[in-house]
Amino acid sequence: MEKINGTLYSNQIYSNTGSREFTEKATEAAFLLGGIGTGNVSLGSRGDLRDWEIFNHPNKGLKLPNKFFSIWAKEMNQPSIAKVLEGKVPPPHSGSHGYYPNTAAGLPRMSSSALKGEYPIANVVFKDNDLPVDVELEAYTPFIPLNTEDSGIPCAILKYKVKNKSEMKTDVAIAGSLYNPVGGIEYDEFSNYQGLGGLNVNEVREEKDFKGLYMYSKKYDKNDLKYGNVALTTTNKNVTFKPVWLRGRWFDEMQEFWDDFSKDGKLNDLGYTTPSTDRKSVNSIDSVFYERQSDTGSLSIYETLNPQEEKEFLFLLTWYFPNRINGWSERHRVKEKGREITQNYYSKRFNSSWDVTKYIYENFDRLKTESFKFHHALFSSTLPNYVLEAISSNITVLRSPTCMWLKDGHFLGYEGCFDNWGCCDGNCTHVWGYAQTLAFLFPELERNMRKTEFLEELEEDGHMNFRAVKMFDSEWIFQEKKAPAAVDGQMGSIMRVYREWKISGDKEFLDNMWPHVKKALTFALVQWDTDGDLVLDGIQHNTYDIEFHGPNPLSHLFFLGALRAVEEMAKIENDLEMAEKCKNIFDLSRSRTDDMLWNGEYYIQKINDVDEVKYQHGEGCLSDQLLAQQIAHILGLGYLLPEEHVNKAIQSIFKYNFRDNFSNHVNCQRTYVMDDEKGLVLCSWPNGGRPKFPFIYSDEVWTGVEYQVATHLIYEGFVDEGLTIVKAIKERHDGIKRNPWNEVECGHHYARSMASWGLLLSLSGFNVDMGKKEISFNPVINKENFSSFWSTGTAWGTYHQEMDEITGEIIPEIKVLYGDLSGVKVKTSSKELTL
């Protein structure tokens, strides 16, 4: 196939060259640990724990003091060495007061570190010139598709694997230090810190098979927003504790800890028996001179290693902060007395972080085996490494602070995150409409989102509030008026009901949705087809936060997609009248739309004067013009507009909107791509006609749009072009410029980025219809030796096909690694089998 333009990568584009490593210089690389709806702590490229987001809201940049691991080693007959078990602190070093002691920046540390993350598992390899041992950290939080609960445990498992490089017996200790964060923390301008609560207790606890530190506060009762606790434990046997660091002045606490640890790797308990002071006893933050109101605690694991021996030092960090505000934000929250606070889902299963700890140790092998099985299933794929990165890294969104999972079962998502709070409330239908990841990994949660939309937010007249806030007793108001419905969001939600049905085969779900789905579809004609010609021409609010006026491809393809989905669902619901009605409207609307909007290369917006109303696209080539078509492909709904036009239009999108250099790109909007980076802009005007003020994001680059276009290109046969876009995205996220596990748009961990799961679907040609009990595969690359992950609502596993070298026959193999697929027909290009 001829290339669409000359900016493509070389042949390498099909091969898997292995996951990337991020050295300590990759300051932006931060791998999120933590479960669904639990919050997170991230693992940085230095092996540091950063961005403590365990307190029920985002917290990018939150540093806890004294929170580092350290290693002590003594090779027989040699002096001992102690270092912070982190890579070097990268520049700039330009803070107004240098680095404060609680950062441990002044202590010796490892010569280098390299983080490799294959979500959900991360590894950090540490090197050091002085130590007689090599150290590697393995970090993860259990992640098992379809097992939502066990993918939602508030914990981080940190296992250091230490290998004695020397020919001598070597004693090694690794200490984990953790500040008791209950009650919160503040830093003064100097960087002295002080607890905001007080009465904190760091307790040594021992169980039969594990022991560790349990950190809590005596100040808060169970219903307090600040109530909670953390635990740092181990199953290693030889452990010493310093449950409470020296309560000293100035920088004494760090001095005492380091002197103690670096002497012999063992820690002295200083014998404190009282909780930290209560906050109310001091007036101001002057913590160099007064009590700090919370304490750091440490535990040190000690092992003796024979020459060349490797041993494991296991640390399990768990947290428990069950209470959160009963709402999205100050604006949209329950204000009724006694109901201001709600709980995380995990509080239904656990009573404390110690409880969480017990559960994990009791189920350790299973949780680990199944998590690693998923990891292996995904990463043993023959898909290109950057594609695997794109697919896997955005799973992060589901387990980031972008999402919450409440005890009443609601799974909720912001669009993304500010540094310190969720950004843009309400399961936003048009943004989440691009996402595929959740539907294919935790379909139960995805169905919950449909229920929220259709059972809670759909009004009597079929108007669906595209932001769901009613569960918090609120209404969605925008600029002091009731917000309009969003055409792409509402029609997309209809299509997604069909998706959820196909993935799950859950007839009860479909039956429940059905009357509401019909109502939501009917609304489109009432609301947006002002002249009854079955072409949407009204004022159409959409994902660009503005309204398109008049007929336009984005809106209209969604309308067509929804018609097709409803037609299919009507057949299942045996509502043949509705099915036929949809088909009739679809046929008419489709041909009128094509006539009206096709310009020979792509679809345009039909508007007399593109400058009469601001923020239109007019003659522009919109990257999202075929979004609904891409979704229709995933759902097996066929072409919504003539195939040759769709095929030509997706080519035009790549041709006109993909840029291999942004140095001279003029963008007066928000900037996500710069300089010599590559990316796909949201819109361009190859034939002129750019409005004076085009829609407000038209010159921007969004990974969610890039992924859906890439997926679509692959579906239409333009595999190289699709992969080119994906490779460009991951190159931009190189750990130095941006975090590989955080694709930003209107906020961190942006939901739209979960469109990347479409790459797995399109490249493997995977189709699922659990209603019909059928799945199928049709890989489009590496056909002679192809492996990839697949998932349905009941099972997941791997698909492999290989060409028999002699016969040339393609031999497929499917493995079910989790769940049950019995009775399901599997179709491949060469065979059909029933499991």
Residue 163 within binding range of a second copy, rule CB under 8 A:
no
Is 255 a binding residue for a second copy by CB under 8 A? The answer is yes
Any contact of residue 699 with a second copy (CB under 8 A)?
yes
In whole angstroms, how large is the CA radius of gyration of the chain?
28
Q: Does 700 participate in binding a second copy (rule CB under 8 A)? A: yes
Nearer Cβ to a second copy (208/692) = 692
Both structure tokens of 691: 């409005």
Indicate whether 25 belongs to the interface with a second copy (CB under 8 A): no
Q: Is residue 283 within the footprint of a second copy (CB under 8 A)?
A: no
Identify the residue among 12, 17, 273, 479 touching a second copy (CB under 8 A). Answer: 479
Nearest-5° angle of CA 428, CA 431, CA 432?
75
- Site residues (CB under 8 A) for a second copy, limited to 458-477: none
Shorter beta-carbon distance to a second copy: residue 39 or 197? 39
Q: Which of 76, 206, 250, 369 binds a second copy (CB under 8 A)?
A: 250
Residue (250 or 366) nearer to a second copy, CB: 250
Nearer to a second copy, 586 or 697 (CB): 697
Q: Does 141 bind a second copy (CB under 8 A)?
A: no
Dihedral angle computed from the Cα positions of residues 72, 75, 80 and 85, in that order, rounded to the nearest 10 degrees? -30
- Give the number of other CB atoms < 10 A from CB of residue 10: 5
Question: How far apart (Å, rounded) are the C-alpha atoms in residues 668 and 660?
Answer: 19
| Residue number with CB closer to a second copy (273 or 663) | 663
Q: Are the C-beta atoms of residues 51 and 40 closer than 8 Å to each other?
A: yes
At closest approach, how far in Å is the CB of 219 from a second copy? 26
Q: What does the alpha-carbon distance between residue 803 and residue 784 come to, in Å, rounded to a whole number?
A: 5
**Nearer to a second copy among residue 28 and residue 203 (C-beta):** 28
| 248 touches a second copy (CB under 8 A) | yes
Among 14, 421, 598, 639, binds a second copy (CB under 8 A): 421
Q: Give the per-residue contact string, 638-677, with a second copy (x = CB under 8 A; - = no).
A: -------------------------xxxxxxxxxx-xx--
Between the alpha carbon of residue 738 and those of residues 498, 735, 747, the distances in Å are 36, 5, 13
CB-CB contact of 546 with 554 (8 Å) = no
28 binds a second copy (CB under 8 A): yes
Query: For residues 124 and 423, which CB has a smaller minimum distance to a second copy in the complex?
Result: 423
Residue 457 C-beta: closest distance to a second copy, Å: 24
Residue linked to tokens 């909780």: 275
Pair 249, 289: CB distance under 8 Å: yes
The torsion of the CA quartet 508, 511, 513, 514, rounded to 10 degrees, works out to 160
Closest distance of CB 348 from a second copy, Å: 31
**x/- map, 670-689, a second copy, by CB under 8 A:** xxx-xx--------------
CB of 664 to a second copy, least distance (A): 5
Q: Do 741 and 393 contact (CB within 8 A), yes or no?
A: yes
> Measured between alpha carbons, how far is 140 from 372 in angstroms, rounded to an integer?
10
Tell me the backbone φ, ψ of residue 752, rounded to 5 degrees. -60, -25
Point out which residues pair with 174 in neighbouring strands.
71, 301
Site for a second copy in 58-87 (CB under 8 A): 60
- Shortest distance (Å) from residue 96 CB to a second copy: 5
Q: Please give the residues from 734 up to 753 whose contact with a second copy meets the rule CB under 8 A.
A: 736-739, 742, 744-748
Q: Which of residues 98-127 bind a second copy (CB under 8 A)?
A: 98-101, 103, 105-108, 111
Tell me which stretch binds a second copy (CB under 8 A): 92-100, 379-387, 787-795, 807-815.
Answer: 92-100
Binding to a second copy by residue 92, rule CB under 8 A?
Answer: yes
Backbone φ and ψ of 313, nearest 5°: -120, 105
CA distance 535 to 596: 9
Q: Of 108 and 636, which CB lies nearer to a second copy in the complex structure?
A: 108
The CA angle 359-362-366, to the nearest 5 degrees, is 100
Helix (H) or strand (E) holding 432: helix 429-432
